Amino acid sequence: MLRFNLWLVWAAFLTSSCGANYCRDANLCCPGRDSACVVQKAHQNAIIEDLTDKPCYCDHACLKLGDCCPDFRETCGVSDCLVSGWGEWSDCDTACGSGSMVRSRTVLQQPAHGGRHCPSLVQRRACQAHHGCSADSDIPLREETAMILPGGLSVSRRSNETVDIRKNLRLRNPDDPESNSHREYCVQFEVIKVSKACHGDSDYKALREGNTVCVMCEAAALKRDLNWRCTGHGVPSTTTRFFALVAPHCHGKWIRTEHSPDKRSDCCLNPHFIFV
């Protein structure tokens, strides 16, 4: 009879303290990190064979550690931050040159009792604006990026029209290129910075920091809306950007050192690259 009574006492102890499975049953909700804020599902000296018998916690740290009791959020009033969707992008904050645009969102519900914090409420992205530039401003030129192809394609284009990438990309001048051949010119650049990807491509081996390269602006690449010039031909003594059209990881910066309208010059006769 005594052994039976002792068993009842022990069973009651397990039910009231160790047998609890929830924060609500154990009446526990603790701020911060508190290792004592634990629900023991089995006696602390018991051998745990079932993972569901492992202790669970009712402190805020359990959210990060992933060992909360199943009802922790509900019982302890945990709520995550809720935000609205993104608003519209603002106008570019400059009328001429590089600027930035901003969009934002608002907090709909603040986090509580250890809930997930609010994410960033503001995003920015770069933008370009030229509508406010004066007629003599060189900012639009400085911010253009030159797209280039190997100079060898200049010869192949004349011998086989079908291999002209610019034709396939519909980037050609809508006028007859031959009628504008007198507008062709060449530009010399000093390479200032170049990505490693250029070093691994034999077509772009001339792109080395400190090297001078020649780039030809052929009739097929002339742009009427740019006063019959090629995109990205740069500004004297000013760093501009370039990238290789068929090798997108090859890119860098250079400075225009010379502009030659003489197609009989060495630069035009043997260009390293051509504009697209």
Residue 81: is its pLDDT beyond 60? yes
CATH of the domain at 98: 2.20.100.10
Rounded to the nearest integer, the mean pLDDT of the chain is 80
**pLDDT tens digit sequence for 194-213:** 999 898 888 998 999 999 99
- Percent of the chain at pLDDT > 70 equals 76
- Contact (CB, 8 A) for 113 and 127: no
Q: What is the DSSP letter of 88?
A: P
**pLDDT tens digit sequence for 141-199:** 778 899 999 988 875 445 455 555 555 554 554 555 556 778 889 999 999 999 998 98
Q: 98 pairs with which residues across the strands?
A: 128
Count Cβ atoms below 10 Å from residue 242 Cβ, excluding itself: 25
In a domain, 3, yes or no: no
| Residue 7 pLDDT level (bands cut at 50, 70, 90) | very low
Contacts 24+ apart (CB under 8 A), 163-171: 164/220, 165/245, 165/246, 165/276, 166/220, 166/221, 166/276, 167/220, 169/276, 171/221, 171/276
- Claim to verify: residue 266 and residue 146 sit in the same structural domain: yes
In a domain, 185, yes or no: yes
- Claim to verify: residue 246 and residue 175 sit in the same structural domain: yes
Token duo for residue 269: 């006769």
| Residue 9 pLDDT level (bands cut at 50, 70, 90) | very low
| Residue 64 pLDDT level (bands cut at 50, 70, 90) | confident
Name the residue range of residue 86's domain: 82-129
Pairing relation of β-strands 247-260 and 56-57? unpaired
- Claim to verify: residue 61 and residue 174 sit in the same structural domain: no
In a domain, 13, yes or no: no
Residue 55: is its pLDDT beyond 80? yes
Q: 97 pairs with which residues across the strands?
A: 129
19's torsion region: left (phi>0), alpha (psi -120 to 50) or beta?
A: alpha
Token duo for residue 198: 């250029």
Mean pLDDT over 119-138 rounds to: 80
